Structure 1
Amino acid sequence: MEHNFIDIELSWLESCITKKINKDLSKNIDSTISKQNDIVIDSYYSQLASKLSKSERLILILALAQYIAPKKLLALMTAKEEDLTIGGLTLQNSYSGFIPTIDTALYLLTNDKYSIVNRLSSLNLFDSESTLIRENIIQLEKQDSWTPFTASVLTINPYVLHQILWNKPYVPAMSSSFPAEKITTEQEWSDMVVNRKTEKQLEEILSWVKQRNAMKSIPAVARKVLPGYRTLFYGPSGTGKTLAATLIGKLTGLEVYRIDLSKLVSKYIGETEKNLKQVFDIAEQHDWILFFDEGDAIFGKRSETSSSNDRYANQEVSYLLQRVERFPGTVIVATNFKTNLDKAFLRRFQTIVHFPAPNEDTRKMLWEKVFNDEVPKENDFDFSFFAKNFELTGANIINVLQQAVVLGFEENGGTIGKPQLTRALTRELSKLDKLDMKTERKLIFEHEECC
């Protein structure tokens, strides 16, 4: 159905070209176009066409033809020899064909090529506020700085073109030019253990993401409120910031992409902004949630300008600030220390969510959830003992689980016993430099005896 619909649009384009070249002005572009009500909304292209005016649809199919049906434009290449108002570029190389420009679109859209009024009216379709340009569907490429604006080549945004051709979103592989990766979780909202204040703030974010489109439908609100939602997660490592971000995506049906700051920041001037633009442009097309982990690496405070390096670093922060502010989706920035972030960013966050280190009660809940009934273990352990004596985060406790399971398979037939659990805990505490050989290790083995 998708290809049939595109074929109908191409036939309509061909008819418009023929009538224009033959100077058949008895009918305008409406004469052969399929009616808007006849569009079957079952594909990306048909969805795109359904929200465009007939003139915009003509521009779109004109730009698309050079990629999928270049023969449809050969008549324009031939006619250009006699009528320079057709515009376009004629290529005579390995690809012998015709590349349409704004002039080409104006030629097809105006009944009288000498009518300045008609030409200026049609030119509005290429204004920055027009649908095709504002939504980054059509891109305009000037060949030289001295050529007029109307000589700009019509191209289709590569991400839009990919969706038209394959009817599915384009997601590039993670690389230095696309420093983002999709993150998911098998856990559920009930698996997350945070204090009530933090949970309430996360629920507010969930409500916004779920109701964002309904809010945009109220013009009085949409005019006053900045697009998108920006939130800061801060607190020690392992307290659930990444899990919360992935769960928000899971519960709202949105994909979450974590920005790899090691690949994002480049030593070459302008490359960081270029990488950022790549991520934000694709994210806007797909309605992703963007998650900046260790955000102070790029959202950090701007410094005093004492060298060219300082100026470029400040430019990167300023550019990021602008893109985050314009992003229509959800941006989550995570950091260990809120004070490390630039105040200009802090002012623009709708919510700032604190993920504190878990207290004794929270630690007990974490131990019980991590070592739940589905985990093979010999008997019930005294988790209140662990919670009271060892200040660990959820991530630390999961590390203990992983090590205890391995030891259980090696030593106890796949079941976690007291020796395996205590040794796994000992190793985690040692890794964190929290193991005092004279006291805390003694407590661990006292627990082994008391259980």
Structure 2
Amino acid sequence: MPPVDARVDADTLEAELEWLAHVIELRLHHYFHDKAPGSPPLPGTLAPPPSLRPGAGPYAAALQRHGFDAAERLLMILALAPQLRPQLLDVLATQNATTQRPYTEFGAHVGPGGAMLPTVETGCFLLAGDDLARRFEALQRLSPQQRLARDGLLHTETPASPEAGGLLQSLLAPSPAFLAEALPGPALPAPPDRTALATRVQTGLRWEDLVLPATTLGQLEDIHLWLAHGQRLLHDWGFGRRTGRGHVSLFHGPSGTGKTLSACLIGERCGREVHRVDLSLVVSKYIGETEKNLSRLFDAAERGGWILFFDEADALFGKRTSVSDAHDRYANQEVSYLLQRIEAFDGVVILASNLRHNIDDAFLRRFQSVVQFPLPRPPERLRLWREGIPDAVRPDPALDLTRLAQQHELSGGTIVNVLRYACLRSLARGDGLLRAEDVDEGVRRELLKEGRAL
């Protein structure tokens, strides 16, 4: 890829920012000076945006590649303004003399450090003013079915403040993917994606490193077969008329038994990214926000071909109680919507829970597989002990791994924690020796964490 001409790209962004400033100036002038009773609304067409020249840099190329119209270009540069020229939005903090607070219709949100952050309301105000029909058109631009949200280019997120409202008060933020495409290089580092509902999980281990019973490995192989041949089964063999579009699996078992690791390795084996879903970010107290979050999550997963991993799934799929109030009814609606999206998802969804009986039986019937991850047996524990010791350390001759495997019923994750503790002690001494007493102390500490005695 040829190097980016920073000057050329800066010229493109400068022109876009000047255009945004002009649109804001026109809208505010109309709002404060021409808004007399019976006066016509500001003309429906925006001030024409700057022309985009071929070779004008990555930002111009991204706008042309996505085919943005003027309204979409305005929303995108508005979302970028806090990072490129934050003072440009300060005018939106103008105080209403009657209410002694910023104008509600301007929609700007005060962010950290006092910077003004644009919201959906800000975008609607600039595009439509108080013309209700045009506001509906502006809102449609941000619907999940339209380009900006559908293609993961522009995100909306609810501010983390007690007074935050619904969609109109949601902040506008360019996605990290769009920033990487349109503003490459170190000039503008991508901010943390506060709208991310799932995080990619990876591992440096290999499939051969899995230490699981043969039954569990066989069930994991079934998921691999689905990823390899599921689409042919659905479409070429016509099974799509009889079943859902994807594969839903429940992984259940104690912590540290390999549920997350297995999901990661399935993805790496099949060339798929695995993304762990943060249910605390998906579930919102605002009516309709949970459904919007789930829609955005599954749309992104379908575009990227992700495997979705829902950890602690019993938070949503636990035993249901009788519906006693509106909150219970809304919670059931959320679960129903999630089930609909899972069943319509053209991929693999893995739900993880420590206890199988925490999951409602009505939900279990909708899953294609239920995979148990038991605590390892003594032979498996011995293998975990042996393979977990780094090559850089020498085991103490007094270290009896067979005794440890027979005596202590520990998960693979717990064994890793014990070895980590003992190896750190060795590094602190500088002798490169994995001492038996350090391993025993590590076991004792782990058992105490679990409320068990040595």
Q: TM-score range, shorter-chain basis? A: 0.5 to 0.7
Q: Count how many residue pairs are aligned between Structure 1 and Structure 2.
A: 308
**Residues 217 and 315 from structure 1, CA distance in 2 versus in 1: closer, same or farther, beyond 3 angstroms?**
closer
After superposition, give the CA deviation of every residue in 1:336-383 in whole Å (9 maximum; x if it has no partner): 112222333211111100111222222222212212656443448321
User: Which residue of the other structure, out of 303, 308, 323, is the alignment partner of 2:341?
Assistant: 323
**Residues 148 and 283 from structure 1, CA distance in 2 versus in 1: closer, same or farther, beyond 3 angstroms?**
closer
- Matched residue of 1:313: which SS? helix
- Matched residue of 1:233: which SS? strand
Matched, 1:341 2:359: yes
In the other structure, the counterpart of 1:226 is 244
User: Which residue of the other structure, out of 269, 274, 277, is the alignment partner of 2:292?
Assistant: 274
2:308 corresponds to which letter in structure 1? L
C-alpha distance in 2 between matches for 1:348 and 1:389: 40
- Matched residue of 2:205: which SS? coil
After superposition, give the CA deviation of every residue in 1:34-63 in whole Å (9 maximum; x if it has no partner): xxxxxxxxxxxxxxxxxxxxxxxxxxxxxx
**Residues 377 and 383 from structure 1, CA distance in 2 versus in 1: closer, same or farther, beyond 3 angstroms?**
closer
In the other structure, the counterpart of 2:63 is none
TM-score (norm 1): 0.60
1:203 is displaced (CA, Å) by 0.9
2:372 corresponds to which letter in structure 1? H
In the other structure, the counterpart of 2:275 is 257
- Matched residue of 1:193: which SS? coil
2:265 corresponds to which letter in structure 1? L
User: Which residue of the other structure, out of 209, 222, 228, is the alignment partner of 1:191?
Assistant: 209
1:175 is displaced (CA, Å) by 5.6
- Matched residue of 2:434: which SS? coil
In the other structure, the counterpart of 2:321 is 303
In the other structure, the counterpart of 1:130 is none
In the other structure, the counterpart of 1:288 is 306
1:403 is displaced (CA, Å) by 0.4
Kindly indicate whether the alpha-carbon contact (under 8 Å) linking 1:302 and 1:317 is maintained by their aligned counterparts in 2.
no
C-alpha distance in 2 between matches for 1:201 and 1:378: 38
In the other structure, the counterpart of 2:45 is 91
User: Which residue of the other structure, out of 378, 402, 413, is the alignment partner of 1:384?
Assistant: 402
Kindly indicate whether the alpha-carbon contact (under 8 Å) linking 1:303 and 1:314 is maintained by their aligned counterparts in 2.
no
C-alpha distance in 1 between matches for 2:239 and 2:45: 49
- Matched residue of 1:91: which SS? coil
User: Which residue of the other structure, out of 160, 179, 200, is the alignment partner of 2:151?
Assistant: 160
After superposition, give the CA deviation of every residue in 1:163-220 in whole Å (9 maximum; x if it has no partner): 899779xxx9776643211100001111111111101111111111122233344052
1:415 is displaced (CA, Å) by 2.6
- Matched residue of 1:315: which SS? helix
1:241 is displaced (CA, Å) by 0.5
Q: What are the within-5 Å matches in structure 2 for residues 33-48 of structure 1?
A: none
**Residues 176 and 157 from structure 1, CA distance in 2 versus in 1: closer, same or farther, beyond 3 angstroms?**
closer
C-alpha distance in 2 between matches for 1:382 and 1:148: 72
Q: Percent same amino acid among aligned pairs?
A: 40
In the other structure, the counterpart of 1:240 is 258
C-alpha distance in 1 between matches for 2:327 and 2:178: 42
C-alpha distance in 1 between matches for 2:431 and 2:376: 33
TM-score (norm 2): 0.60
In the other structure, the counterpart of 1:182 is 200
In the other structure, the counterpart of 1:355 is 373
In the other structure, the counterpart of 1:404 is 422
Kindly indicate whether the alpha-carbon contact (under 8 Å) linking 2:46 and 2:70 is maintained by their aligned counterparts in 1.
no
1:312 corresponds to which letter in structure 2? Y
Q: Which segments of 5 or more consecutive residues in structure 2 lack a partner in the other structure?
A: 2-15, 17-42, 52-67, 72-130, 154-176, 183-189
- Matched residue of 1:237: which SS? coil
After superposition, give the CA deviation of every residue in 1:122-145 in whole Å (9 maximum; x if it has no partner): xxxxxxxxxxxxxxxxxxxxx978
Matched, 1:368 2:368: no
1:155 is displaced (CA, Å) by 4.8
Q: Which segments of 5 or more consecutive residues in structure 1 lack a partner in the other structure?
A: 2-66, 68-88, 102-142, 441-451
1:318 is displaced (CA, Å) by 0.7
In the other structure, the counterpart of 1:429 is 447
**Residues 160 and 415 from structure 1, CA distance in 2 versus in 1: closer, same or farther, beyond 3 angstroms?**
same
C-alpha distance in 1 between matches for 2:45 and 2:268: 49
1:92 corresponds to which letter in structure 2? L
C-alpha distance in 2 between matches for 1:173 and 1:253: 27
**Residues 354 and 173 from structure 1, CA distance in 2 versus in 1: closer, same or farther, beyond 3 angstroms?**
farther
C-alpha distance in 2 between matches for 1:397 and 1:219: 46
Kindly indicate whether the alpha-carbon contact (under 8 Å) linking 1:233 and 1:355 is maintained by their aligned counterparts in 2.
yes
C-alpha distance in 2 between matches for 1:164 and 1:391: 49
C-alpha distance in 2 between matches for 1:161 and 1:318: 25
- Matched residue of 1:302: which SS? coil
After superposition, give the CA deviation of every residue in 1:79-115 in whole Å (9 maximum; x if it has no partner): xxxxxxxxxx9513475999699xxxxxxxxxxxxxx
C-alpha distance in 2 between matches for 1:350 and 1:194: 20
Kindly indicate whether the alpha-carbon contact (under 8 Å) linking 1:177 and 1:275 is maintained by their aligned counterparts in 2.
no
1:255 is displaced (CA, Å) by 0.4
